Structure 1
Amino acid sequence: MPAKVVVIGSLNMDLVTRASRLPHAGETLIGQTFSTVPGGKGANQAVAAARLGGEVAMIGCVGTDAYGSQLREALLFEGIDCQAVSSVAGSSGVALIVVDDSSQNAIVIVAGSNGALTPASLQAFDAVLQGADVIVCQLEVPMDTVGYALKRGRELGKTVILNPAPASAPLPAEWYALIDYLIPNESEASALSGVMVDSLDSAKEAATRLIEAGAGKVIVTLGAQGALFADGQGFERLVAPKVKAVDTTAAGDTFVGGFAAALSAGKSEAEAIRFGQVAAALSVTRAGAQPSIPTLHDVQGFVAS
């Protein structure tokens, strides 16, 4: 069967160390642990959607190094269609991650093979896009590729989700009208809108500006404070479940993947947001990126408890 959720984006090997705190500029700290974990926002969101009940395909690139085969195998293990995950000469993408004792993190990304994902790459797998119900994109692959994916998704009449991560500036103006759901966190909403998002009111102002720019609907994720939904008609704040955080890595990706999976299963927007919130909350109670992402059974058990 065609995948209902198609994720276009990055695959990275996460090189993760834990330390008592994040280092200052020029400082060397003694770390506590080190591990290599499959990640990348695209792959994380694909894994989340698959574990949370979606039929998922991934479009991306891995390198010809050892990490490349490991990244592909990690997706295949989750039952994700990898026919559109191409191998290109050179190194795979990597992310250098430091997590402190308060579960905050700092991340440096090296694109590697993710930079080889081009509009031509997507054209070669147009049949995968045609079979989708929901198309999910982020910003860890070339911008022209993301722009093509958004445009093609709109042409095909699919539900288009953009998680603008990482974002440091406004999106191209012509993109907004192509997006059904724009899902930034606080810092991303600030970068896109020019409004410093540090409260519910400023999140509303940022979301309003993004709607005025042309985005269909906006969901600003607010971490432990929940999420703000805006559709141009009004706002709704959805409170996050309370949990004890261990590691916030991939919480946003889990939310996006869970939201996409729920939409593809016919859930309402509100139901899909709450489903994504529960999944994200469960993810922060565990360490790592993909290892922290819960299953549909986990979410159902949490809701029932």
Structure 2
Amino acid sequence: MSNRPSAVTVVGSINLDLIATADRLPTAGETIGGAVLSEQPGGKGANQAAAAARLGGSARMVGALGSDVNGQRMLDALSAAGVDTSDVAVLPEPTGTALIVVDRDGENQIVVSPGANSSLSLGGVEFDPDETVLCQLEVGLAVVVEAARRHTGHFVLNAAPAMDLPAELLERCDLVIVNESEYDLIPALAEARLVAVTYGGDGSAMFEHGRKVAEAPSAAVTVANTVGAGDAFCAALVLALRHGLDYERGLAVANAVGGDAVGDPSSQPDLAQLGYYVERTAAAENAR
């Protein structure tokens, strides 16, 4: 594995997560009491940038937040994680907010109010051909397409939340990362060049043009919060593959990182360096 830190630029959302942890999720029209409320930094983009930085990558965030107290809190959290925030725009709109309900098993329901994320622009942003650009779909699709057009290097899309994607965008992707539900909701992914699919407790797999070429199991973990686990997986997989790991080992490393994230109540959990997870998965494989 290469020891040189991989440069990752994340183009995506920055949100304040308002999380109500309850015994179970409410049904339609139902009120559930006794929940515990917490506020923490979130947004798929910010979560992935924070995870990449904590794993030892050189991480830059391209996003937008509001000129409000919450925006400053989100900016401070990114900086504290080691993320370069020089391309985060501060706009008049309010900072994006996610309303999240989490049950005792870690399952969640999420409603996002995008706020400043809807006004994200790539004006003045430069991309280096040697870096990896990682996008999601919590910002405007037009911004993601523009990033794919302008970046000439490695381009990765976490196609979440699921939506119909232009053929141009899918053809540009070096890697698409989705969960099992998103893979089913985007039929065009069956023809994509390379797709990583997560299956929660059942691990993950890699597909080339719809053909499974690698898979890796997940370890049993105690679930505290699943909100940031997929984002941690995305950052870890990007870094692992860019460091030269093969698909199977890259998936195993990303599963281990995602497992640690599931066990942490934060959407932007503290993580060890990537090398630790590489050694841990190798030791687990040798023990089998």
Q: TM-score, normalised by structure 2?
A: 0.90
Pair 1:140–1:181, CA change in 2 (3 A): same
Report the Cα offset of residue 17 of structure 1: 0.8
- Per the alignment, residue 197 of structure 1 pairs with none
Checking the alignment, whether the CA contact within 8 Å between 1:52 and 1:294 is kept in structure 2 is yes
Q: CA deviation at 1:237?
A: 2.1
| Percent pairwise identity | 36
Write the mapping of 1:1-305 to structure 2, written as runs, cut at 5 A: 4-118=7-121, 122-126=122-126, 129-130=127-128, 132-153=130-151, 156=152, 158-167=153-162, 169-193=163-187, 209-212=188-191, 215-232=192-209, 234-290=212-268, 292-296=269-273, 299=277, 302-303=280-281
Cα displacement (A) at 1:300:
6.0
Residue deviations 1:220-249 (CA, integer Å, cap 9, x gap): 111111112111364322111222222211
Structure 1 runs (4+) greater than 6 angstroms displaced? none
Separation (CA, whole Å) in 2 of partners of 1:2 and 1:20: 41
Q: Could you list the per-position Cα deviations for residues 147-204 of structure 1 after superposition, in whole angstroms to 9, with x for gaps in the alignment?
A: 1111222xx1x1111001111x3211221110011111011111111xxxxxxxxxxx
Distance 2:77 2:241 in 1: 24
In structure 2, the CA distance between the partners of 1:299 and 1:234, relative to structure 1 (3 Å rule), is closer
**CA 234–131 in structure 1, closer or farther in 2 if over 3 Å, else same:** closer
Once the two structures are TM-superposed, the CA of residue 131 in structure 1 deviates from its matched residue by 5.7
Provide closer, same or farther for how the CA distance between residues 82 and 46 of structure 1 changes in structure 2, counting only shifts above 3 A.
same
Q: Is the contact made by 2:237 and 2:251 (CA closer than 8 Å) also made in structure 1?
A: yes
2:6–2:239: 8 Å Cα contact kept in structure 1? Answer: no
Residue identity matched to 1:221: T
What letter corresponds to residue 146 of structure 2 in structure 1? Y
User: Which structure dedicates a bigger proportion of its chain to strand?
Assistant: 2
Aligned residues between the structures:
278
Q: Deviations over 1:56-92 (max 9, x none)?
A: 1010001011110011111111111111001000200
Give me the CA root mean square deviation.
2.0
Which letter maps to 1:223? Answer: G
Report the alpha carbon displacement of residue 28 of structure 1 after superposing the two structures with TM.
1.2
Sort the Cα spacing of 1:234 and 1:247 in 2 relative to 1 into closer, same or farther, 3 A. closer
CA distance in structure 2 between the partners assigned to 1:132 and 1:13 by the alignment: 31
User: What is the one-letter code of the residue matched to 2:124?
Assistant: A
Contact map agreement 1:16 1:36 (CA 8 A) in 2: yes
Task: Give 5+ residue unaligned stretches, structure 2.
Answer: none
Which has a greater percent of helix?
1
Contact 2:61 2:84 in 1 (8 A): yes
What TM-score comes out, normalization by structure 1 length? 0.85
Alpha-carbon distance between aligned partners in 1 of 2:130 and 2:26, rounded to the nearest angstrom? 43
Deviates more, 1:265-274 or 1:223-232: 265-274
Structure 1: 5+ residue stretches without partners = 194-208
Determine the C-alpha separation between the residues in 1 that align with 2:66 and 2:203.
37
Q: Could you tell me how far apart the structure 2 residues matched to 1:68 and 1:133 are?
A: 27
8 Å CA contact retained: 1:5, 1:264: no
**CA separation of 1:123 and 1:263: change in aligned 2, threshold 3 A:** farther
Distance 1:229 1:296, change over 3 A: same
Question: 1: CA distance between counterparts of 2:212 and 2:110?
Answer: 34
On the 8 A contact 1:54/1:265 being kept in 2, the answer is: no
